[in-house]
Structure 1
Amino acid sequence: MKIGVLAKQVGITVETIRYYESEGLLHPALRDPANNYRRYDHSHLERLIFIRRCRTLAMTHNEIKILLQARVEPDASCETINELIDEHIHHVQARMAELQILETQLIELRSQCRAAHTTRDCGILRELDHPIEESSEAQPEHSHVPGSQCRIERH
């Protein structure tokens, strides 16, 4: 099948398929000698469905590569897979804690302006003009979960 058909079946873009090929997540397709088009088969479809499912779970490309490798070793122990998922759960829990802190900060910020004023008198803008207060609390550890690279300050 052509790349556009494959992309449509999986629900991703053609560019994403090409990107997965360049990242080594998807084996390159054979080229049709008649027109040089990429020709994908059912194994590409199955692999892309697997990759897409992993991406919906916010897994990194490295984690996906480990899981893809495990799929081709059906008699190996799944201990590595269990450890990978346990670590991923830890990262998700850390991200959730960061987001709860962020929510609290945003609620506090929103409370600085309870009614519509001119922007010159807006409590939110005034609050954002102040420097961040440093905290003695430990900062959240780095997480690989998308969007969690931002530093959340604790007050």
Structure 2
Amino acid sequence: MLELDGHDRSILTLLQRDARMPNVQLAESVGLSASACLRRVQRLEREGVIAHYVALLEPRLLGRASTVFIEVTLDSQREEVLAAFEKAAAGCRDILECHLMAGDFDYLLRAAVDGPHDYERLHKQELSRLPHVVRIKSGFALRTVVKRTDYPL
């Protein structure tokens, strides 16, 4: 694990909230000179702590108002079966997240759809065609109670 001091943690906390914050403002907020702050940000990028910068979009305005969590069970847990499923799942644009799980099912997927009819399309055209799938169980999120994009530091 990389050693982070207080300035690093403050920089990362602020950039997680607003990655477009100008360096001068960031430096002032964390109590560093602009050049020292920029060097730290560049080091954090170089070391991979800052993996990339993204824009967070509002799904409802893009016709993706519903979040579906999908439990997938495969016919085997052999490495080649897992690899085939993961490759196919990665190619499905509606799947936002795919997690290999421990427990009663093999994968937990998160997808953004435009309601039940759109999920039916996803199920018929994508999910049911993924390799080695023997069971699919889905649940619609009624409301998102907590949604964080920033990691606690």
When you count helix as a share of all residues, which structure comes out higher?
1
When you count strand as a share of all residues, which structure comes out higher?
2
TM superposition score category, shorter chain reference: under 0.3
Higher relative contact order (CA 8 A, sep 6+): 2
TM-score, structure 2 normalization? 0.23
- Larger Rg over CA atoms: 1
